[in-house]
Amino acid sequence: MRETFRLSMAYLHTWLGLLLGFVLMAIFFFGSLSVFDREIDRWSVPETRAQAAPFPSFDRSVLPIIDSVKPDPESMEHTAAEVIGKLPPADALKAGDVGVYTNHRDPILRMYVAFDVPNKPRDANLDHVHVYGFASVDPQTGERLPADIQDRLQLGTGFFFPMHFMLHLEWMELGYWIVGLAGMVMMAALVSGVVMHRKIFREMFTFRPEKARLRSILDLHNMTGVLALPFLFVITLSGLLIFAFMYLPSPTTLMRPLAKAQELVEAAGTGLPVDPSGKPGKLASVDAMMEAAKARWAAKGVPGEIGSVAIIHYGDADAYVSIARDNVDRVATSETLHFTGSTGALAYEDPPASGIRTTEGFLYGLHFQQFRHWTLRWLLFAGGLAGCACIASGFLFFVEKRKKKHAAIGVPGARITEALAVASVTGMLVATGAMLLANRLLPVDLPGLAGWQEAVFWLTWLATLAHAGLRSGAAASGGFSPAWGEQAGLVALLAAGAALANWVTTGDHIIRTVAEGYWPVAGVDAVLLVTAGVAGYVALRLRSRVRRSGQATPAVTIKEPAHV
């Protein structure tokens, strides 16, 4: 019975892992990059390379800008498809809510304006349909950033982060669903992996690179999986929870009347108006409210820089202002303070979180990582890469185990899998490197600059798949695909090239940024250079291996480890 169970778990682990492993590889890799999304933003938009600064004066720097923010054309298009009838022209829309936020790693104050829409939604469950407009403010000067800089593609928050959670597949929210499915598969793979790994603790410290290839790959797969297991499990679980509202929508669909009633009961408890009064009203000084919030945090002895300010029902007599702090000192987000807009008096403070809310806040917080803890940030980055190593070694094990057998009976399974694995491991790195290089080399006044960078990324990735397929002939005869080494060499060139291009186009070389202590750019360059070094070394090792295997086929028969 036990063996049957273990075998069925092994079957599940192998095939589900293979099927969704390609997606998981991208999720984990771009998730790791997203740990440093703000820093990659600075690297990719050099005009914004400044030290992070505290929130500027709201009354002087933000309020005058609000009325000049126009609805974003893309958002107009998106909302037009969600509502019944034609949307009013952009100029006729009125701002409803305004949100402004930054954090200790961001030298930009980001701002959105949610414009009210009179149209009814097509889907009755969408009750907060808005059109959004965006603006960015330089907190050092309090000036609005010019449109060409504000709209420049910030690779960290604008491309790698969305790639992590929705793969840029917006149609029918398909990307979110694929990522959710992959997350479920990851959980199943972790649990089934533990069940099938007989000597999980006994072999926790065992890596035998000198043994037969299959054995050493399996050691690496087990070791990266077991040592990073707590991280992999919790990060996957929390990722799934973040989008649980989408995967399990019944609280807002089937139980909608109940949810609405609950919203009203909660609002009654807080005294904060759910809907605007419809009468225009004046806003008291938001700076004074921010000062009051800071004084409250100082009295509690917690770090008290402002993280976000939201004006709900902007311009209405019932407007209120919600202020939250930049949670540098804790994992979960903290309680928000709400002020009455017309008087500036504190209306309500969120109560201390319940046990369930605390757990939820902790799980969300550990995934969004807004805290100030650089050691932990690097550890989480390393954890994500360990996840990538675990998945990549899983592919290798699958391929190596079947390669000779498939070659003997003329089945292309291992060959196809290896080509896909090459594209999803080294190919993904090549595409990322090419995008970073394109970011530095394409002229900033090129029309559709963001689209060009994205095109470079996708087309390069596609090209690596074609390359992996064309070079997979060796795998068909049970050999080792030269594509691994060739693409690793390309990764080295692109990573070093991107760091070099950063120096040439901005003058910020790593010695300078380190000497000046500008860590966001120094850190990205350092990772690029380390990547170049490691990938170059791997490329050379693989080249000599391919040469050796070309000269002689090993006469030893490899004893297969007990594993499916």
Partner 1 sequence: MSDAVLVLLALLAAVAGMAAFALANETHWRQMLRERTQTGAARTACKLFGAALLALSFLLCALADPVSMAMLVWPMLLGVAAATVAAFLTLKARDRSCR
Residues within the interface to partner 1 (CB under 8 A): 202, 204-210, 223, 227-228, 230-231, 329-332, 362, 366, 371, 373, 375-376, 379-380, 382-383, 386
Block residue for tokens 């050493």:
216
Least distance between partner 1 and beta carbon 195 (Å): 21
- Distance between CA atoms of 23 and 178, rounded to whole angstroms? 8
3/210 with CB nearer partner 1? 210
* 365 versus 485: smaller Cβ distance to partner 1: 365
- Cβ contact 82:30 at 8 Å: no
User: Please, which residue, 177 or 207, has the CB nearer to partner 1?
Assistant: 207
Long-range contacts formed by 503-511: CB under 8 A, 24+ apart: 504/440, 505/46, 505/440, 505/441, 506/46, 506/49, 506/440, 508/46, 508/49
SS3 195: helix
Cα dihedral angle (368, 372, 377, 378), rounded to 10 degrees? 160
Q: Scanning the structure block, which residue is given the tokens 């409250």?
A: 296
Closest CB 330 distance from partner 1, rounded Å = 6
Spatial CA neighbour of 133 closest among 183, 163, 97: 97
Letter for the amino acid at 559?
A: K
- Residue nearer to partner 1 on the CB measure, 328 or 450: 328
CB atoms within 10 A of CB 229: 16
Tell me whether residue 316 is exposed, middle or buried, using C-beta atoms within 10 angstroms of its C-beta: 0 to 12, 13 to 18, 19 or more: buried
Residue among 546, 526, 458, 530 nearest 491 (CA):
530
What is the C-alpha to C-alpha distance for residues 225 and 193, in angstroms, rounded to an integer?
8
Query: Whole-angstrom Cα distance, residue 467 to residue 461?
Result: 10
Place of tokens 């000269």: 551
**Which string of b and e fits 74-106 if b means at least 16 CB within 10 Å?**
ebbeebeebbeeebeeeeebebbbbbbbbbbbb
How near is the Cβ of 252 to partner 1 at its closest, in Å? 29
Determine the 3-state secondary structure of 442 from DSSP.
Answer: coil
Least separation in angstroms between CB 154 and partner 1: 26
CB of 363 to partner 1, least distance (A): 11
Whose Cβ is closer to partner 1: residue 171's or residue 201's? 201
Residue among 210 and 275 whose Cβ is closer to partner 1: 210
Q: Which residues pair with 116 in a beta bridge?
A: 130
- Comparing CB distances to partner 1, the nearer of 171 and 205 is 205
Judge whether 502 and 494 are in contact, CB under 8 Å.
no
CB of 525 to partner 1, least distance (A): 23
> Minimum Å distance from CB 387 to partner 1?
11
- DSSP 8-class letter at 139: T
Q: What pairing do the DSSP bridges indicate for beta strands 337-340 and 130-138? A: unpaired
Element containing residue 375 per DSSP (H, E): helix 374-409
Quote the tokens at residue 302. 């917690």
Phi/psi at 144 (5° precision): -70, 140
Q: Smallest gap, in angstroms, from Cβ of residue 226 to partner 1?
A: 8
Least Å from the CB of residue 332 to partner 1? 7
Kindly state the smallest distance separating residue 218's Cβ from partner 1, in Å: 14
Residues in the chain: 564
Quick one: 5 or 378, whose CB is closer to partner 1?
A: 378
3-class SS of residue 322: strand
Q: Closer CB to partner 1, residue 137 or residue 220?
A: 220
Q: How far, in whole angstroms, is CA 382 from its chain's centroid? A: 15
Q: Which of 245, 280, 275, 249 is nearest to 263 (CA)?
A: 275
| CA triple 325-513-526, angle to 5 deg | 90
The residue among 303, 310, 34, 353 whose CA lies nearest residue 162 is 34
* 51 vs 358, beta carbon nearer partner 1: 358
Taking the complex as a whole, how short is the minimal distance between the CB of residue 515 and partner 1, in angstroms? 21
Least separation in angstroms between residue 211's CB and partner 1 is 10
C-beta closer to partner 1: residue 181 or 200: 200
Q: Which is nearer to partner 1, 199 or 279 (CB)?
A: 199
Q: Please identify, using beta-carbon distances, which residue of 262 and 359 lies nearer to partner 1.
A: 359
Find the shortest distance in angstroms from Cβ 355 to partner 1. 13
In this complex, which beta carbon is closest to partner 1, that of residue 218 or of residue 422? 218
| Shortest Å distance, C-beta 556 to partner 1 | 16
Q: Order of strands across the sheet with 95-101?
A: 143-144, 130-138, 109-116, 95-101, 306-312, 320-325, 337-340, 346-349
Cα–Cα distance for residue pair 460/482, rounded to 1 Å: 18
